[in-house]
Amino acid sequence: MGVLRERGNRGGDRLAVARWAAVMFGTLALFAAVAAVVTLRLREQVRQQIVHRDAEVLASVVVRLGNAAERSGEGFVDLEEAFDWLPVLLETSELRGVLGLRIYDPAGLFVASLPGGIAETDLDWDGLTALHALRPSAVYDRAADLGEAASGIPSGSRAPLVTVRLPLHRPEETRLLAAAEYLIDGRSVAGEFAELDRRLAGQAGAVFGVGAGLYLLIGGLVFVRLSKTRRLLAERSARLDRANRELTLAAKTSALGAVTGHLIHGLKNPLAALEAYFQSDETDADDRREAVAAVAKMNEQLGELLEFLREDGGESGYDLTLEEIIELVARKTGARGRTAGVEIVARVSGFAQLPGRAANIVMLVLLNLLDNALRATPPGKRVLLAAQTASESIQFTVTDEGGGLPAPVKARLFTPCASGTGGTGLGLALSAQLARQVNGTLTLERSDPTGTAFQLAIPRPAPGNPA
C-alpha cells in the first residue's frame, strides 16, 4: 500500500509539473501573440506615417509654389484650370525620386502627364473624395510595374513605388481646382521599412525576453512554494487517511464481532465443564490426556477469538471489503509470523463486499488456517494469504512452504485427529463447520513437499443481499 501511495504521489507530482508547464508556456504563447499583434499594428501605423510624410511635404511645396507663381504673374495670371498648374508641377517633377506625374481636373478625369508616355487613367471615387476634402494621400506598392508608371521603362520592370495624390487649390480657399498624382521611386521608403522592421523586431524580442524571463522566474518560485505546500498537505492527508481507515476498521471489527463473540462465549462454559470431567480419574489415562489436550486447545482458540472480537460495539451495520478482511487477518497474525521468522504475504485480486456475519466467519477460518501454516513453515520461508473473485464465488487461499501433510492426515482431513504439525486437527474440523455456516466449502487444494494450500470458497453475494 505504501509503495502504491508513493507511486501515486510521484504520478501526482509529474502531473502537477506538466500542468504548470502547460500553463506557463500557454501564457508565454499568449504573451508572444499579444506582443506580435501590438508590434504589427505599430509597424503598420509607422509605415503609414512614413508614406504620408512625403505626401504632406510635397502638397505644401506645390501649394506654396503655385501661390508664389500666381502672385508673380510669370506666364499666367490665375490657377483656375488644370493646365494652369503645369509650370508649377513641371518644376516639382524635377525633385529627386519623382519618376512622373498625372494631372486631373476636379471631376477626376485625366488631363495630361509628365512625361507624356505614362499610362492614362482616371481617379477612382475614393481618391476623388479625399482630394475634394483637400486631403493628400499616398500609397506604397513594393512591386509596381514601372513601365506603366514612368516613360522609357520597359513594361514588366517591377520595383517599389510610392503614388502620391495632391489636391491643387489656393492657400486661402477650399475649392479643388485640379489634382496631381506623383509617381515616386519607393526604394528609399523600402529601405526605411526594412530598418523599421529590424528595430521593431529587436525591441519586441527584448521586451518579450525580459518579460518571459521575469514571468518564468516568478512562476518557478511560486511553483516551488506551491509544490512544497502540496507535498506537506499530501503527507498530512495520507496520515489522516491512515488514521481514519484504522478507526473505520476498528469500528467495523467491533460491530462485526459482537454477535460471534456472544455465541462463542456461550460455548466456553460447556467446554470448561467437559475439560473438568476429563480431568477426573474415571477414564483411561492416555484417553484422558488426549481429550484434555483437545479441549484445552479448543478453549485456547476460543479465548483468542474472544480477545480478538471483544469490543464495545453493538449490532453490525457494516460491510467489509476483501482488502479489509485480508488486512485485518494479516495484522492479527503479523506478530506471530515475525516471532516464527516467517513472512506473511497478502494479495487481493478483484473487489467484493461481505456483510458482517459472513466476513466475521471468514476471518475466523483464515486465522485458524494461518495459525496452522505458520506452525508448518520453517523460518525464512513465506506464507501466502490471498483473496480473489470469480464469476459466482469468492476464493480465499492460505499457502505455506512446509513439507506437506502426511498421508494419514490427508485421509482424515477436517475430523479431529493429529495434524502432523503438533496439533489435534480440531482447528480444521471447526473451520470446515464454520465454512458451512456461510454456504462455503473448505478444501485442500494441494499438499506436496513444496507446501500445502487450503482454499475457502463461498458464494458471491448479490448486490444488496446478505450472505
pLDDT 10s per residue in the chain (467 long)?
444 445 555 556 677 777 877 887 888 788 788 888 888 888 888 888 888 887 787 777 777 776 676 666 554 445 566 667 777 777 777 677 788 888 888 888 888 887 777 778 888 888 788 888 888 888 888 887 766 666 556 666 778 888 888 888 877 778 888 888 888 888 888 888 888 888 888 888 888 888 878 878 887 788 788 878 878 887 887 787 777 666 665 555 554 454 455 445 445 555 655 566 556 655 566 666 666 666 666 666 666 555 554 443 444 457 889 999 999 999 888 888 899 999 999 999 999 888 877 888 899 899 989 988 999 999 999 999 999 998 889 999 999 998 888 888 887 887 765 455 545 456 788 888 888 888 999 999 999 999 999 999 999 887 655 44
Query: How crowded is residue 231: how many other Cβ atoms within 10 Å of its Cβ?
Result: 14
Hey, what amino acid is at 271? L
pLDDT value for 301: 62
pLDDT value for 78: 53
First to last CA, the chain: 28
pLDDT value for 260: 54
pLDDT value for 12: 60
Pairing mode of beta strands 393-399, 451-459: antiparallel
Q: Is the dihedral of CA 197, 200, 205, 208 positive or negative?
A: negative
pLDDT value for 279: 61
What would the grid cell of residue 29 be?
Answer: 504563447
Question: Contact at 8 Å (CB) between 358 and 467?
Answer: yes
List 112's β-bridge partners, or say none.
103
pLDDT value for 444: 92
pLDDT value for 2: 44
State the Cα–Cα distance between residues 295 and 70, nearest whole angstrom.
141
The CATH code of domain 7-185 reads 3.30.450.20
Question: Contact at 8 Å (CB) between 313 and 293?
Answer: no
pLDDT value for 416: 61
pLDDT value for 437: 84
State the Cα–Cα distance between residues 309 and 122, nearest whole angstrom.
108
Pairing mode of beta strands 382-389, 353-355: unpaired
State the Cα–Cα distance between residues 108 and 459, nearest whole angstrom.
101
For residue 302, the Cα-to-chain-centroid distance in whole angstroms is 53
Length of the chain: 467
Q: Where in the chain is the domain with CATH 3.30.450.20?
A: 7-185
Return the SS3 of 263.
helix
Question: Contact at 8 Å (CB) between 161 and 141?
Answer: yes
> Residue 348: which region, alpha, beta or left (left: phi > 0; alpha: psi -120 to 50)?
beta
DSSP state of 464: T
- Considering only CA atoms, which of 259, 240, 299 is closest in space to residue 426? 299
Hey, what amino acid is at 233? L
State the Cα–Cα distance between residues 6 and 1, nearest whole angstrom.
9
Question: Contact at 8 Å (CB) between 423 and 431?
Answer: no
Q: What is the helix (H) or strand (E) element at residue 34, kind and residue range?
A: helix 2-72
Q: Where in the chain is the domain with CATH 3.30.565.10?
A: 318-467
CATH topology of domain 318-467: Heat Shock Protein 90 (3.30.565)
In Å, how far are 77, 117, 142, 152, 168 from 120, measured between CA atoms? 28, 9, 21, 15, 19
Q: What is the helix (H) or strand (E) element at residue 141, kind and residue range?
A: strand 137-145
Residue that has been written with the C-alpha cell 520597359 in this structure: 154
State the Cα–Cα distance between residues 414 and 423, nearest whole angstrom.
13
